[in-house]
Amino acid sequence: MTTPPYQPGYAPDHSDKSKVVAGILGILLGTFGAGRFYTGHTKIAVLQLVVSLVTCGVGALWGLIDGILILVNGGTDAQGRPLRD
């Protein structure tokens, strides 16, 4: 067996998902749960979508705050691995 080539910013114990992409999706499309769908957290994403629909869009603040927190603190994917930079 051969080892896979080194990829900067990627370690085997890290996710293949980017925290920058997840954060930007959360900020821009957080109303639809796009950042959470991207990271594989489908239950939270559907909940964000439902809350936004029920509150007539006020729930979009959740997506905005979630996206900012992902950019600042990082986050995890559905398997619990930290997102790559």
Distances in whole angstroms, Cα of residue 6 to Cα of each of 2, 12, 45: 12, 10, 32
pLDDT of amino acid 8: 61
| Rg of the chain (C-alpha set) | 14
Q: Are 30 and 66 in contact (CB under 8 A)?
A: yes
Q: For 40-58, how does the pLDDT look when each residue is reduced to its tens digit (9 = 90+)?
A: 999 999 999 999 999 998 9
The pLDDT confidence band at residue 1, using thresholds 50, 70 and 90, is: low
Indicate if the pLDDT at residue 85 is higher than 60.
Answer: yes
Name the residue among 75, 67, 76, 73 with its Cα closest to residue 27: 67
Q: For 74-83, how does the pLDDT look when each residue is reduced to its tens digit (9 = 90+)?
A: 999 999 999 9
Q: Tokens 């997506």 belong to which residue?
A: 63
Q: For 17-33, how does the pLDDT look when each residue is reduced to its tens digit (9 = 90+)?
A: 999 999 999 999 999 99
pLDDT of amino acid 27: 95
| Token output for 46 | 């559907």
